[in-house]
């Protein structure tokens, strides 16, 4: 049987459910999701392997007008995903207005291959609101196949997966067939810590923070991890640590539980908080952090 493989890349505004969709298609909680916007900062591959196919899915950061260097790097990651896509998924959420989504539509129109526009979160609105939304988006991007979706509750996810696999081009596998992602365990650990920061801290703290895993030592009985949380100001460091270290302990405990589920082992997590005022603007540092 001929082998099929291709890239299917997901783009959209922040918070529309791109990462939730990637996880749903993979059937695994691979990438972090969160009700706060700008959860995803990198292009992350999730690879779905079958005997005769390999579907390489890309999650990307939500499209925005960049305000600082890190956000510029995030938008470069989006634009890279438009270059190698065999099929483009444009994800929008029901209620979103096409006329306010020019940043997304402009990129979608430029892409020359097949496009699927998914209207997500249809579980969250009355059923009679869905059809008008589909019609609006079909008019905005006439060449796209427009489909309603609930990435969270699985509506149309299996159908979408079957469609994406069916239209893959004949091609050898791009990655070893036992790989689930292009990213390392250390990367996913840092993401899980960052996701807990999004949940636990208000306002600018999560957006000013970077997490770096310095060591990851796995033995049969336990995984020992040391990670730094890097923030931009002393005041933020104080908030992350909290009174008597309470907030940092809570972050450590919640992150540890998430990491334990991910690695399926006991975890010892040592978290340190550091200040680096310009990490979001400094090209060399951003590069070091994988942006």
Question: Contact residues for ligand GTP (CB under 6 A)?
Answer: 12, 14-20, 33-35, 37-40, 61-62, 120-121, 123-124, 150-152
Q: 34 or 156: whose CB is closer to Mg ion? A: 34
Residue 106 burial (C-beta neighbours within 10 Å; 0-12, 13-18, 19+): exposed
Q: Sheet containing 115-120: give its strands across.
A: 44-50, 53-59, 4-12, 87-93, 115-120, 145-148
Residue 107 binds which of ligand GTP, Mg ion, none (CB < 5-8 A, kind-dependent): none
Residue 120 binds which of ligand GTP, Mg ion, none (CB < 5-8 A, kind-dependent): ligand GTP
Q: 254 or 276: whose CB is closer to ligand GTP? A: 254
Q: 75 or 223: whose CB is closer to ligand GTP? A: 75
For ligand GTP, the nearest residue by Cβ is 62
CA pair distance 42, 190, nearest whole angstrom = 12
Shortest approach of ligand GTP to residue 166 CB, angstroms? 23
Shortest approach of ligand GTP to residue 155 CB, angstroms? 8
> What is the torsional sign of CA 291, 209, 59, 133?
negative
**Could you identify the residue written with the tokens 């209620």?**
95
Q: 14 or 242: whose CB is closer to ligand GTP? A: 14
Q: 6 or 12: whose CB is closer to ligand GTP? A: 12
Question: Could you tell me if 66 and 74 are in contact, meaning their C-beta atoms sit under 8 angstroms apart?
Answer: yes
Shortest approach of ligand GTP to residue 131 CB, angstroms? 17
Shortest approach of ligand GTP to residue 10 CB, angstroms? 8
Beta bridge partners of 56: 7, 47
> What is the torsional sign of CA 234, 255, 42, 211?
positive
């Amino acid at each position: 049987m001929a082998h099929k493989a291709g890239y299917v890349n997901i783009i959209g505004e922040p918070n529309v459910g791109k990462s939730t969709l990637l996880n749903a298609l993979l059937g695994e909680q691979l990438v972090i999701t969160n009700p706060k916007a700008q959860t995803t900062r990198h292009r992350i591959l999730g690879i779905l392997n079958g005997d005769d196919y390999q579907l390489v899915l890309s999650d990307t950061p939500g499209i925005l007008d960049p305000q600082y260097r890190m956000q510029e790097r995030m938008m470069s990651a989006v634009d890279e995903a438009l270059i190698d896509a065999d099929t483009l998924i444009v994800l929008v959420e029901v209620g979103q207005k096409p006329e306010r989504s020019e940043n997304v539509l402009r990129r979608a129109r430029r892409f020359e291959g097949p496009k699927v526009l998914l209207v997500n979160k249809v579980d969250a609105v009355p059923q009679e609101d869905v059809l008008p939304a589909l019609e609006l988006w079909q008019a905005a991007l006439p060449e796209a196949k427009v489909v309603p979706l609930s990435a969270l509750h699985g509506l149309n996810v299996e159908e979408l997966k079957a469609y994406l696999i069916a239209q893959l081009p004949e091609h050898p596998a791009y990655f070893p067939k036992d790989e689930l992602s292009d990213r390392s365990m250390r990367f996913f650990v840092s993401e899980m810590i960052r996701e807990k920061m999004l949940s636990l801290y208000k306002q600018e703290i999560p957006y000013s923070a970077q997490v770096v895993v310095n060591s990851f030592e796995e033995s049969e009985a336990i995984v020992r991890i040391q990670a730094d949380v890097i923030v931009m100001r002393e005041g933020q460091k104080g908030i992350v640590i909290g009174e008597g270290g309470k907030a940092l302990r809570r972050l450590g405990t919640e992150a540890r539980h998430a990491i334990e589920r991910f690695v399926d082992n006991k975890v010892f997590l040592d978290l340190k908080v550091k200040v680096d005022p310009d990490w979001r603007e400094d090209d060399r540092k951003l590069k070091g952090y994988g942006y």
